[in-house]
Amino acid sequence: MVRVKICGLTKKEHIQVAVEEQVDYIGFVFAKSKRQVTVEQAKVLAQSIPEPIQKVGVFVNETVENMLHIAKEVPLDVIQLHGQESQQVVEALKPYTTIKAISVRTKEDVQKAAQYNVDYYLFDAPGIEYEGGSGNTFDWTLLENTKINRQNIILAGGLTPENVGRAIEQVEPYGIDVSSGVEIDGQKDEMRMRAFMNQTRNGVV
Ligand SMILES: O=C(O)c1ccccc1N[C@@H]1O[C@H](COP(=O)(O)O)[C@@H](O)[C@H]1O
């Protein structure tokens, strides 16, 4: 079964919905974003996330020192690197599980993923205002014939309850990641979160 990450949660009531829907990963954005949370906010929200749900911190070109500090404080299970971080940064974050986001415009962008030795490769559309969370999709056919194992691929970028079934069928990723697609007017929406989960788990919107 495909794993699901819902990202950019900032409110307890939406964490509750994600927990009820048995998502696999909940993401907190610590980078500059309209969904940015402070360490203190994330710490409080994290208290209502039971195991085995994994808590993911999303960072953009943050220092290793800060990331490790925040990961310990919250605490986080997974670190998502959504900027132009190097493999050296990935190495410095062990033993945390790491996700490296790759912005995809071309086939060459997909090939760039091979320079990283990381737990998961998250393929996303290029950011607009911020590095991620644009709500835009990219051309999924660019992932065809990639050497990256499907079991290490997380698909992101503009996924919604309406297109996620098609995305899973076409890309066959390990996981999918959604933020904008389960929002209305910039806020997470319970009905869209539940519809997204229904669609991924049962093929029902
Ligand atoms: O969500 C954000 O605001 C954000 C800001 C900076 C870096 C990453 C961010 N989110 C990540 O963006 C993708 C796709 O989001 P969307 O579904 O297209 O809105 C996802 O990986 C988020 O983790």
State the complex-level ipTM.
Answer: 0.98
> Does 205 score more than 50 pLDDT?
no
For residue 182, what is the domain's CATH number? 3.20.20.70
CA 19 to ligand 1 center in whole angstroms:
20
- What is the domain range of residue 138? 3-202
Catalytic positions: 7, 124
Residue 93: closest CA among 116, 65, 59, 61: 65
Separation of CA 112 from chain center: 19
How many of the other CB atoms lie within 10 Å of CB of 24? 17
Q: How far is the CA of 132 from the centre of ligand 1 (A)?
A: 4
Ligand 1 within 6 A of 26 CB?
Answer: no
- What pLDDT, in 10s, does the model give residues 139-171? 999 999 999 999 999 999 999 999 999 999 999
Q: Which of 36, 37, 124 to mutate to test the pocket of ligand 1 (most atoms within 8 A of CB)?
A: 124
Separation of 27 CA from ligand 1 center, angstroms?
9
Question: Which residue(s) pair with 105 in the sheet?
Answer: none
What is the count of structural domains for the chain?
1
- Tokens 């993401």 sit at which residue? 27
| Maximum separation of any 2 CA atoms in the chain, in Å | 43
64-79 average pLDDT score: 98
> Measured at the alpha carbon of residue 152, what is the angle toward residues 191 and 24, in degrees to the nearest 5?
30
Give yes or no for a contact between 137 and 159, defined as CB atoms under 8 angstroms apart: yes
* 90 and 62 Cβ atoms separated by less than 8 Å: no
Can you tell me the distance from the alpha carbon of 48 to that of 122, in angstroms, rounded to the nearest whole number?
26
pLDDT value at residue 182: 98
Q: Assess whether pLDDT exceeds 50 at residue 69.
A: yes
Q: Is the predicted pLDDT of residue 202 greater than 80, yes or no?
A: no
Q: Say what the pLDDT of residue 204 is.
A: 54
